[in-house]
Each structure stands twice: as structure tokens, then as C-alpha cells.
Copies of this chain bind each other. A is one copy, B any other.
Amino acid sequence: MGDVSEVELVRRWQGLLARHAAVYNALEQELRQHHDLGVPEFEALERLAGCQLGKCRGAELSEAVHLSQSAASRLVARMERDGLVERSLCEDDRRGIFVRLTEHGRRRYLDARPTHRAVLATTLDPQ
């Protein structure tokens, strides 16, 4: 049905790789330079800012940032060290944690968002 030739498949993948690299590198560059944030940090902030009360379970966060569980765990640790988020115990299931956006984290997110959107606007248009 939706069959596509092998060369078409490869062409799509190359395109995906190229667009991903272009946007990702530009984002990394701009977010780092102007806001001292990495792409995963920003993605996590954005996810948390969209959550009710700014709380979020660790596993949800791993999925949102497209990182392994261990990488997400360390990401949260770095962000906590930098005062962007706080970890709190989850009383319902005491194995788990909640990650909560701090006021400082929310401010950093709101500051960085225009930069993020501007990069997307300039590097994502030939979609």
C-alpha cells in the first residue's frame, strides 16, 4: 500500500537527519550562548511548564526529552543543582519522585522561549 522505493526511503532519512542536525545544532548554540541552557534542559523545562502545578513524574520526563532513563535522571540532577527544578518524594508510590519547576526555573524558561521560537522559525521553514 504505502510502499515506497528503497531510494526514496533513504532520501527521507537523509533529509530527516539533515534537518534534525541543522535545527538541533542551531538551538544548542543559541540556547547555550544566550541562556546557558542545553536542548534537553529546555525540553524538560517546556514539559514541566506545561504540567499542572509544574509537577511531573520522572518517567514522563524521560519520554519527553527523548533520553534514556539514566540520562534523564542525571539531567534532573543537573537541573536541580542549578536551581531549575526540585525533586520531591511521591507519597503514593515511594519509589517514584516528582520533579517540580521552581520559580527560577520558570523564569529561565520564559526568558529562553523567544530564542527557542526564533531559531525554529529560521531553521525549520523548509519543511
- Tell me if A125 counts as interface (CB < 8 A to partner B): yes
Q: A6-B117, A120-B13 are in contact. Are A66 and B23 (CB under 8 A)?
A: no
- Tell me if A53 counts as interface (CB < 8 A to partner B): no
Contact with B along A1-34 (1 / 0, CB 8 A): 0101010011011001111110100000000000
Number of A residues near B (Cβ < 8 Å) is 22
- A20 interface neighbour in B9, B16, B124, B127, Cβ under 8 Å: B16
User: Which residues 32-59 of A sit at the B interface, judged by CB distance below 8 A?
Assistant: 43
Interface residues in chain A, defined as those with a beta carbon under 8 Å from any beta carbon in chain B: 2, 4, 6, 9-10, 12-13, 16-21, 23, 43, 66, 117, 120-121, 124-125, 127
